[in-house]
Structure 1
Amino acid sequence: MPRILVIEDEKSVRTNILDLLKVEGYEVFGAENGRIGLQMAQEHLLDLIICDVLMPKMDGFEVLRTLHENPETQTIPFIFLTAKAERADFRQGMELGAYDYLTKPFTRTELLGAVTTQLKKREQIMQQYSTVCAQLEALTSKIRELQQMADVKDRLLDNLIEELREPISNISMTITLLKEKVPGAQRDRYLEILQEEFSREVNLLNQVSDLQQILTPANVKLLRQFSLLQEKGEV
């Protein structure tokens, strides 16, 4: 049920508007001046404010200006009521952010038409806001997923580099020992085998940087799933 605040210093006008809106099924609140209305607007979650322009203590322009300074109230649709029809008043109200303007005296049809129009606009805005929030949540989730994939890729590359460094070091050391300790044809054969293995490992290590381009997010995701399957199988 939409919640509407009516700020009007003339009691008879305020009461008539409140009664009319109640009959239409709206939840209504009434305030007899701008200060009280501003306080009520800050206390209640409202869908629309209908406010007179000329009031004691705080006029409608000041109410609207103050509401727009508060992020929690600045998006509430605002309809001005006034007995003055000067063009300057209309322009000032709209420049401050008023959504609509009704000049007293107004008919029931004019009031309800303005209320219905602004509530529909608010509903559309809220739907758009919900859509944007959903899109933002989906984007945030995707960013988290990509970050996780990037972390997996980095760990995979780090592990690969470490796994390559030790065999290369061992092969290099073995080649040195063979050259010094094992004589003849046997040594030459061992050296040949180790030299081939050493060259292969070095070449593989040099290709690690190219692997970064191969590990797309989709491929990393598959690798992560495969890794999880292996871990389960080993348990």
Structure 2
Amino acid sequence: MTKILVIEDEKGVQDNVIDILQLEGFKVISADNGLLGVLMARAEQPNLIICDIMMPELDGYGVLEQLRQDPTTATIPFIFLTAKAETVDLRQGMESGADDYLTKPFTPLELRKAVAVRLQKQAVMMEKYNQERERALKYQREVQERQTLIETQEDFLRKIIVDLRDPLSNINIAIQLLATSEDEAVRERYLNILREECSREIMMLNQMSQLQDLISPKNLKLLSQFKLI
């Protein structure tokens, strides 16, 4: 349920605003002065704040300044309530970050429209924020997957390089023995070793050529799922 904080020291005005908003289905909380209003805004985190300007303890400008300096309340939509005589001073509040104002006396329709506009704009802003956040998280996941892919490819390459050394070593030994042996049976055995090790070498090279296709992001997830990497 949408929660609205009303900060107003005039009891009649406060009750009137609360009644109108509650009839619209909002949850309404209230504060009788600016200091209490700041504390309630921080504790309750309302979706919207409606605040009088001229109040004891702390006026509306002071409330707005403190809330805008606090990261937990800085983005809460803020509507000033002002008497006609105070409208000339509203520039100070608008420049400080107020979103709108209502001039006393106001009608229920004016209050409902002002609240609806501010909440709608806040909803649009939150939707854009969530879209940007999701886009950033998606990019972060893609970067992490790419990094994992690169690391996995490097691990595979290191393993294949190590595996290539054994048949090469065996081929080198078989060539040397073949060159010094005159026994036909022994030479045939060394030739068989050469054939086997060459076949292994070719298989390893084929694996290297297929590595790029094998270690795709999709296959990487499958390999990780079955603990093959």
TM-score, with length taken from structure 2: 0.79
In structure 2, runs of 5+ residues without a counterpart are none
SS in 2 for 1:115: helix
> Which amino acid is the alignment partner of residue 183 of structure 1?
E
Return the alpha-carbon distance in structure 2 between the equivalents of residues 43 and 227 of structure 1: 45
1:201 Cα deviation (Å)? 4.7
> Which amino acid is the alignment partner of residue 182 of structure 2?
P
Matches within 5 A, 1:95-106: 95-106=95-106
**Alignment length, in residue pairs?**
222
Encode CA deviations 1:55-95: one digit per residue, 9 max, x unaligned.
11111112111112222211110001112110xx2222122
1:117 Cα deviation (Å)? 0.5
Residue 183 of structure 1 corresponds to which residue in structure 2?
A: 182
SS in 1 for 2:115: helix
SS in 2 for 1:73: coil
SS in 2 for 1:71: coil
1:184 Cα deviation (Å)? 7.9
Residue 60 of structure 1 corresponds to which residue in structure 2?
A: 60
1:40 Cα deviation (Å)? 0.6
Is the contact made by 1:48 and 1:119 (CA closer than 8 Å) also made in structure 2? yes
Residue 168 of structure 2 corresponds to which residue in structure 1?
A: 168
Matches within 5 A, 1:78-227: 78-83=78-83, 84-86=86-88, 89-180=89-180, 182-183=181-182, 194=194, 201=201, 214-215=212-213, 218=216, 221-222=218-219, 225=222
CA spacing shift, 1:158–1:99, aligned 2, 3 Å = same
CA spacing shift, 1:150–1:111, aligned 2, 3 Å = same
RMSD: 3.4
CA spacing shift, 1:39–1:140, aligned 2, 3 Å = same
Is the contact made by 1:78 and 1:99 (CA closer than 8 Å) also made in structure 2? yes
CA spacing shift, 1:211–1:68, aligned 2, 3 Å = farther
| 1:10 is aligned to 2:10 | yes
Return the alpha-carbon distance in structure 2 between the equivalents of residues 105 and 227 of structure 1: 67
> Which amino acid is the alignment partner of residue 41 of structure 2?
A
| 1:70 is aligned to 2:52 | no
CA spacing shift, 1:145–1:107, aligned 2, 3 Å = same
> Which amino acid is the alignment partner of residue 119 of structure 1?
L
Return the alpha-carbon distance in structure 1 between the equivalents of residues 225 and 113 of structure 2: 62
Return the alpha-carbon distance in structure 1 between the equivalents of residues 123 and 225 of structure 2: 46
1:223 Cα deviation (Å)? 7.4
Q: How much identity, in percent, do the aligned residues show?
A: 43
Is the contact made by 2:50 and 2:79 (CA closer than 8 Å) also made in structure 1? yes
TM-score, with length taken from structure 1: 0.77
Encode CA deviations 1:22-52: one digit per residue, 9 max, x unaligned.
1222111111111000011011131100011
Encode CA deviations 1:173-212: one digit per residue, 9 max, x unaligned.
23233334x1388888868x949x77x959x77x96x877
1:166 Cα deviation (Å)? 1.3
> Which amino acid is the alignment partner of residue 30 of structure 1?
S
CA spacing shift, 1:56–1:228, aligned 2, 3 Å = closer
1:131 Cα deviation (Å)? 2.9
Residue 51 of structure 1 corresponds to which residue in structure 2?
A: 51
Return the alpha-carbon distance in structure 1 between the equivalents of residues 40 and 122 of structure 2: 20
